Structures are given as structure tokens and as C-alpha cells.
Chains A and B, each alone.
Chain A
Amino acid sequence: MHLSHSSILLKYFYKLSYFFLYMTESTTSQDIASLYRFMAQCMQYPDPEWMNEDFFNVFYNLLGTFGAITEGKEIRDAVEKSSDFIEDLQIEYTRLFINGVPHVVAPPFASVYMDKSIQGSFALRTLNFYREKGFTMEDNADLPDHLVHELEFLSLLAKEEDFAGEEEFLSKLFRPWYKQFCPRVAEETRHPYYRMVVTLIDSFTKEEEEDGFQLNEA
């Protein structure tokens, strides 16, 4: 894509400001780390252990902070109206991400989209990236390219203020599959919770040129 000088400058400016914020505001990078971890938590299999009132309060609060009050209310309605909202979300999680009828909607693994297989070479590339950064998978972990682990990894990078690593991971290993995954879930889900969670992750991991802030070329 050809970018005009002004848009290149603008992009550069954003990167600089991002860079600057990271360098100077370490609390911000800790906030980013927390947010990644929270998003990872949102994508765990629903369990009353963690999916409790506190969790939803934090979730609604977060949505409110971003101006997504209507969406938060929609989720609250779905949760409050249900006789067993955990089971609703478990069924929906299973259908979307594990095994479903008519078929699993969106397995949360990068290599499903990049290699058309579980545990393809993309998963290995992902694991190698973790390793290069000094991280490893725990024994009880899921596959390295599982959405939850990728978000956990991004959180750890943010915590270490490795913003260059974070950006490289996002552009090379995260966005290429996530941008295929996200619309599948958003369009197919029958529960507003998952639509909101994948949108939240999407927004937060988008490249600047993807998010519509780029100036017209004219």
C-alpha cells in the first residue's frame, strides 16, 4: 500500500508516542499487562471459580471505561435472565471453541487458520518466539498458539516493558490469525459475552493502519 508522507509521519508519531508512553509511564505498561491478563482470563473455559460477581463487575466497569455501556448492559441482561448463565456460557464456549454442531465455529489456535491444522508449523514458530524472549510453556498448558497463552505472553512482555517484542509478536504471529478468528466468533456467537470479549481483544491488538485512523491518501 502506498502511504502519503503525512500518513507516514502520523504513523511515526503514534509509534513515538506509544514508545514514549512505555518508556516514561511504567504504570501504563503494567496496566497493559493487566489488561492482557484479564482478556486471557475472559477466554478461559467458564467456571464459577473465576466467573463470579467480582469478575463481571470488573468487566462491566472496563466496558464502561471504554464507552461500551450498551454492550455491557446487553451482557448483564443475558446473564441475569438466565437460570444458569455459567452453563449457557459453557455450552457456547464448547460450541465456539471445542466441538460444536454444526461444527466447531472457531478453534482458538493460530495454526488452525495459518496451517489448517492443530499444532502446525505456526504453533512452533509461536513457541520459538516465546523461547527467544526467555519464556517457556508450563507442563499443564494448552498448545502454545492458544489464544489464552498468546495473551498471557503479551502480558508478560508488557510487564517487562518489551514493547518492541510486543509489537513484533502482534504483527507477525498474532494478528494474522486473530483477524480471521475474531469475525467468525463475532458473527456466529449466540451470546453477547463472547462477541464483546473478542471485539475487546481485537480492538486492543489492532495495528494502527487497520483501525481506521489512517488519513486519506489524497
Chain B
Amino acid sequence: MAFNLTRRKFLQTASLAAATIPLSKVVSAETGVAKASLEPKGTMGDTTVVGGLCEMCFWRCQLVGKVRDGQLMKLEGNPKSIDNGTAICARGNAGVKLLYDVDRLKYPLKNVGKRGEPKWKRISWKEALDECGSKLKAVVDQHGPQGICVFPHGASAKYPMHYFERTVGTHNVSEASFFQCRGIRDAAYVATIGKAPGEMVDMSNTKVIFLVGSHLGENIHVSHIKSYMKGLQGGAKLVVADPRYSASAAKSDIWVQIKPGTDTAYLLAIMNYLVQNNKYNKEFVTKHTSGFDKFSTAISEWTLDKAAKECDIPAAQIKEVAELLAANAPNVAIHPGRHVSWYGNDFQRERSLACLTALLGAYYVKGGWVPPKNPAKLGKTSWAPQEHGDEFNLNVINDKKVYPFKPPGTPTELIRDCAISGKPYAIKGCVVWGQNPMQTIPKQEKMKQVFNAMDFVMCVDVMPTDVTMWADILLPESSYLERHDEIKTGVGKVKATDKEPTQFIAPRMPLVAAMFERKDQVYITNEIAKRMGHEKEIPVQTLEELVDKTLASANITLASVKAEGGIHLQPGFSPYGVPEDFMVQLFNEDVAAAGFPGAPTYKAVEDVPAGYARLLYGRAPVHTFNRSQNNVWLNHEMPGNPVWLNDEVAAKLGLKDGDTVGFINSEGVKSRTTTTVKVTPGIRKDAVYMYHGYGSANPLMTAGVGKGVDDQSLITKIAIDPETGCHGMRNNFVKLTKDGKALDIPA
């Protein structure tokens, strides 16, 4: 370059004086740095800011932030917490790195390239909101409110979801937490005990912890894990059914290395054994259940031997488990699970767990399933509910529900099929809020077809993810550390020796101010609502107002809770004692009337084809699925997701621990990336396992992109749970590939 300026040269250039005169005329008047009006204060000390509520996962541990000069230095558990206490997990700690992630979204962006291959341009909020408002309004004007579909996830998505569902009036809302996760559990328990079970098992006071597939320890929710550990320390026996030697299996007294997909048969055999041998709680069954006769007849075929054959486990082991449960009933914790959208036969498995709990009389007793007596329900301030009829409800055809026991929202596949085919109506606008449907919903190609069918796609998130590449307008949201929000309520004990529990109410408060131009959900939703002609229906002006209005029903305010250290405490009540009207439907007539088995029923899933292994996935202890894959601390701890492979299978394939492999599934889909092999006797020969949430395709995630393998990209065969319409994602089969060659998995 001919150009060779230095400061020295500049100083020597006499002619510059003339040239620089107009410089000042073309610069703006304001600067970001200005003369301080006061004497400089010098370095300030750290302050502890209270009121944090974690959202690295969705357990919402209570936090405090150590803040220096507006900068968050460290996160800790709130010392006032009677839930997680001062403890937070690795992910919670790493929230600092999410807050300050270089790749985070900072300004509204407009895609001036193609969907999926974006070319981004920063635009003003006004332009972004005008575009979102006018495009969404155009969709509603042309196609009706049902022309909009919404994929929300997380605390911040609730307010906009209510806006689109209630005010705009579309049924087409699909939450991943329901349709790809725990919705089946909630629906099955509602159909059995009348309420969603949460994970409300009293593990700290139990004699037996009974897990089916749950891998506590790898799946970490702090207060839940504390309760689990307390139970184990107190001598509780642990029974774990899992094809893999999980963190829980490693602590178990009985590890049931079950064949994937057969869990319901295992549960039916245990229940049948209890019934046949009069080892069930007759008093509870008489007083609190209905349909026992139909139920016991329906499950009577499930002898120990039959189940042993189906589940590929010893009959003696099933008997041992049943005896252990019977001997310790009713103080046994039958865990309902959390992520349960496995095989497309999951409603019946979850019903089985609920019925097993009843046979053991393990509801509302020490060590059983015990819903804590939480603070009275807080008022619900949001967009006012409105009736929109079922004309455009995809789940209702000729007054009949397609999936009668679905969780709230519309089953994902109904929305996708409608969007792609245009039948029975057009869906032309898509709002993605905090969800990453590219990595949460199986069959990515189908998701791409949905986006390509849209007139307009908007995404709101804190980070760029695989789905944000498909947005026309991408809006940056303030993170959970930068905004008010969500109120966590619950119970705990202030002192371990306390006889009665204490209730707590913990609203989320910002620990630091939002940086750049990030905005919260109330601002964004309201501004879009104004542009869509719904200004008059706006329920609150700010997020702070929303939280304060909600707290008012408990006679507290944000200010008062802040003064209390970020958490409000009030006296609680013992949770034990079965309510008089509590009923368990062992046989559910409504389920039967809808054409499904009224008693828990096992339906076999497709067997593994020769040469393949079943692809299983689960949670990593330091990641929250794909949400945390770009977090540099967490990425450092677990950068990849090695595939678990049975040691005998590995020997036959000539694979060694640490070898690099790729995948091809039974439908011919190859993994985009590779991972390493973890050779272990701790997994069945007919399955492989990997942690979910790796191998992002979005290069905007500089830490996470291409690291490990995206299990979701290999989940292309879709199973649908017939009662709920939720996905089953463990019916996909893979071969490993090495140096481009597919390796047949030996039988």
C-alpha cells in the first residue's frame, strides 16, 4: 500500500492544518465519553445484587450476582434460598459467559440474503418492529390469525405466546417443553390422578427411589439432586432401569439393563406381580382408585416370564424389584421422569408409573409422590383469554379431537403438515421465540420446508442458534440476568430441624442492565401488538409492572422482596395426608371411550434392523441441550459428545476408545460432523448413546459450531404418541461410519 502515515508524519505535515478544518463539520455532536461532572470516584468495590433467578436450565435456582461497576463478576446461590441454597451447578456458574458471550445478539438484524443462508444487516428497533408488525398483520389480514404459527420456549416466551394465542387468536402454538419433552408425562398423570406430577417425589425421606430412564446426576437440577442425594445418604435403595450404565445406574442397588422401548412391559409385570400376590395397598386402592377390576384383568397377561422375555432382563430381577417396592411401600418414590418423549408409546408408560404409585399407596405419604403446599397461586397477569372456537383448530376434525390427551398447544406435526401442504388452510407467518426447532424437533428437513413455505419468519433469542439462520428479522432479547421476569415459588426448610416447611416467592430481578439494544418480551410484544391493531388490549406497559401486578396477589412488591434479600419467605404447611377426594383412575373410561386402552397397555416398538443400533440420547450434566453449546466455560468442560459403544461390539468392529466416527441412519441421513467413540461395557449391544445438544450448524456460534454430533439431525423417523400427539424420538437406527465407510453393527 502506498499509504504510509504515522503520527510523526502527521505532526510534520504542515498542510494538514488546512485539511483537518472540515473534519469537525462531518462528525456528530455527541460522544459516548464526556467530561465527568463530579470528581472521579476511583475504583468501586463489589456489590452483591440480589434477586437473580437462573435460567441456564428451567429449574430456576435463586441467585445473587457479585457486581463490580456494572459488570457481573460472579454468580452464587442466594444465601437466603431455602431451595438450592448457596449452591448452583456448573451451568449456573457459567451464566456469566452467556451474558458476555461475544456471539450474542446485540441489535435487531434484518436478513437481506436468503432464509437459511442469511446476510445480516443491523437495523433500528423501529424498522424491525415496523417490519414484524406489518408482515404479521398482512398474514392475519390475508389468511386469518390461524395463518401464524408460534414456536416458543422459556420464561420470556410466555407473554408473546399468550398474545398470539389469546389476542391474535391462533391455535398453532407448539412448545418444545410439551411436545418434545414432558408434555406426555403431564397429560398421562392428568388422565390418572387429575394433575401434572412435576418431579414431586419426596426422595429425601424415601426408602426406595425407582427410576425409569432418569439419569439424575447427569441431569442436574440442584434442589432435586440435593433431595436425591439426601435420600441415598439416608439409606434409600435405588432401582434404575436403563439400557446404559448411567450416573444413576452407577449408584444403584439394582440396575435393570432393560431393552429400549420395553419399559411399559416391565412396569406392567411389576404391577401384575403385586396384584397377583396381594402385595398392593388394598386400603388405598379401595379408597382412592377406580377401575381396579378392569385394570387388573387387563394387565394379567404380564407374567414375570413374559416381561423378562420382552424386556431382555431376568424374571428374578423383576420379582426382586417388585418385592423391594412392596416391602418398603408406601414410602417409595416412583419418579415420573422429565424428558419422556421417547418411543411413541409413552402415554401408556407414564400412566403405568402413576398406577404403580397407587398400588403402592405412595401418594401424599412420606417418601412418596408428594406435591408441596406451595404459596397460594399468584394472580396471572397477561393478555386476556378469549374464545376462538375450534374452526381452525388442527387438533379438532369434525368435532373430534385428533389427539384427545394432548398437552396445551397444538401438536407440532399437525402444524408442520399444514404449513407445508397448505391444507386445510395456509400458515404463512412464523414466530420463533427462545426455541430452536431445528434442534428440538425431529426431521430437520421438514422444518426447513416449513420455513420456506412462510411469507415471514421472525426469531427472538439471546443467541444465534440453528433456527435463527431462517429468520427474516432477528431480534435480540435481554437474558435472564438482565431483566425482571418469572416468579419461582416453592417450599423448603430454613433450618434442617424445622418441623414445618417454609414457603418462598422469588421473582426474577435483573442483576445487571441489558447491554447494547437488547429488549425484553413485554416491550417487543407490545410494540408488535400496537402495529397489529391490538394496542387497546395491552395488559401491562413494562415487564416490571407485569411482575409487580402478579406479586400483588401475595401482598408483596418487587421493592419489598428486594428488601428481603430477593426472596420472600412465609410460613408453610405439611404436605402429607391424602386429600379425601383424591382419586386415581387405574382404568380411565375417558381414554377408553376415545378409542385407546383404558388400562395401561404395552405396545411394542419397531425392533432394531440387522446391522444397526438404536440411537439413544440424554442430558449432559454441564449443558442444557443445545442452548448452552456456545458457552465457552461449558464448552471447555464438555466440548464434544462421544458415542457410547458396547465394548464387545467395538472389538468386532475394530474400533478403539477415542476413534473418530460419523453416523448414517437407516433412512440414509449422514451426520454433518464426527465424534469420538467411548468404548464401554456400560451399554447394551443393540444401542448407542450420546449427549443431546451438540454439533450446531450455525457458524455464528464460534465455540459450539461443528463440535460433536447433532443427534437430532439423525432423528428423522418420526413416531407420534397416539394419545397426546407428542413426538417419540428414540426409534431411529444408526450405523457408525469410519473413513467414509458404514460399519454393520453385529447382532
Report A's interface with B, CB cutoff 8 A: 14, 17-18, 21, 27-28, 31-32, 34-35, 37-38, 40-41, 44-45, 49-50, 52, 54-55, 57-58, 61-63, 65-71, 87, 90-91, 93-95, 98-104, 107, 112, 116-120, 123-124, 127-128, 130-132, 134-138, 140-144, 146, 148-149, 152-153, 155-156, 196, 199-200, 203-206, 208, 211, 213
* Contact A148–B19 (Cβ < 8 Å): no
Residues of B within 8 A of A31 (CB): 16-17, 20
Residues of B within 8 A of A137 (CB): 32-34
Residues of B within 8 A of A213 (CB): 6, 8
The 6 A-B pairs at the shortest CB distance, nearest first, are namely A141-B32, A102-B699, A68-B3, A136-B36, A203-B5, A34-B23
Q: How far is the CA of A211 from the CA of B19 in the complex (A)?
A: 23
Residues of B within 8 A of A134 (CB): 35-36, 40
Partner of A119, one of B17, B71, B120: B71
16 additional contacts, CB 8 Å, given A135-B35, A152-B31? A32-B10, A35-B20, A45-B122, A68-B2, A93-B122, A103-B103, A104-B700, A107-B102, A117-B101, A131-B41, A135-B36, A136-B37, A141-B32, A153-B33, A196-B3, A206-B6
* Contact A58–B22 (Cβ < 8 Å): yes
B652 at interface by CB-CB < 8 Å? no
Q: How far is the CA of A144 from the CA of B32 in the complex (A)?
A: 8
Q: How far is the CA of A51 from the CA of B5 in the complex (A)?
A: 24
Residues of B within 8 A of A100 (CB): 120, 700
* B75: min CB distance to chain A, Å: 15
Residues of A within 8 A of B69 (CB): 124, 127
1/0 contact string of B88-112 vs chain A (CB within 8 Å): 0000000001001111111101001
B574 at interface by CB-CB < 8 Å? no
* Contact A37–B33 (Cβ < 8 Å): no
* Contact A58–B121 (Cβ < 8 Å): no
* Contact A135–B100 (Cβ < 8 Å): no
Residues of B within 8 A of A124 (CB): 68-69, 71
* Contact A211–B632 (Cβ < 8 Å): no
Beta-carbon contacts under 8 Å, B64-91 to A: 68-69, 71
B119 at interface by CB-CB < 8 Å? yes
Residues of B within 8 A of A87 (CB): 112, 121
* Contact B33–A149 (Cβ < 8 Å): yes
1/0 contact string of B631-642 vs chain A (CB within 8 Å): 010000000000
* B439: min CB distance to chain A, Å: 18
* Contact B2–A67 (Cβ < 8 Å): yes
The contact sample of 19 A-B pairs, CB cut-off 8 A, is A34-B23, A35-B23, A37-B31, A50-B26, A50-B28, A52-B26, A62-B23, A65-B16, A65-B19, A66-B10, A91-B120, A101-B117, A118-B100, A119-B71, A131-B36, A137-B32, A138-B31, A146-B32, A199-B1
Q: How far is the CA of A148 from the CA of B32 in the complex (A)?
A: 8
* Contact B10–A35 (Cβ < 8 Å): yes
B499 at interface by CB-CB < 8 Å? no
Residues of B within 8 A of A131 (CB): 36, 40-42
- Chain B residues bordering chain A, tally (CB within 8 A): 66
Q: How far is the CA of A137 from the CA of B23 in the complex (A)?
A: 23
* A145: min CB distance to chain B, Å: 11
* A137: min CB distance to chain B, Å: 6
* Contact A101–B8 (Cβ < 8 Å): no
B233 at interface by CB-CB < 8 Å? no
* Contact A27–B19 (Cβ < 8 Å): no
B495 at interface by CB-CB < 8 Å? no
Beta-carbon contacts under 8 Å, B686-707 to A: 699-702, 705
Residues of B within 8 A of A91 (CB): 112, 119-121
* Contact B5–A61 (Cβ < 8 Å): no
* A85: min CB distance to chain B, Å: 13
Residues of A within 8 A of B41 (CB): 131
Q: How far is the CA of A140 from the CA of B517 in the complex (A)?
A: 10
Residues of B within 8 A of A153 (CB): 33
B25 at interface by CB-CB < 8 Å? yes
1/0 contact string of B547-573 vs chain A (CB within 8 Å): 000000000000000000000000000
Residues of A within 8 A of B19 (CB): 61-62, 65
* Contact B2–A70 (Cβ < 8 Å): yes
Partner of A138, one of B9, B27, B30, B515: B30
Q: A38-B23, A87-B112 are in contact. Are A104 and B102 (CB under 8 A)?
A: yes
* Contact A204–B10 (Cβ < 8 Å): yes
* Contact A101–B119 (Cβ < 8 Å): yes
B118 at interface by CB-CB < 8 Å? yes
Beta-carbon contacts under 8 Å, B233-282 to A: none
Chain A residue, CB-CB nearest to B13: A65
* Contact B43–A128 (Cβ < 8 Å): yes
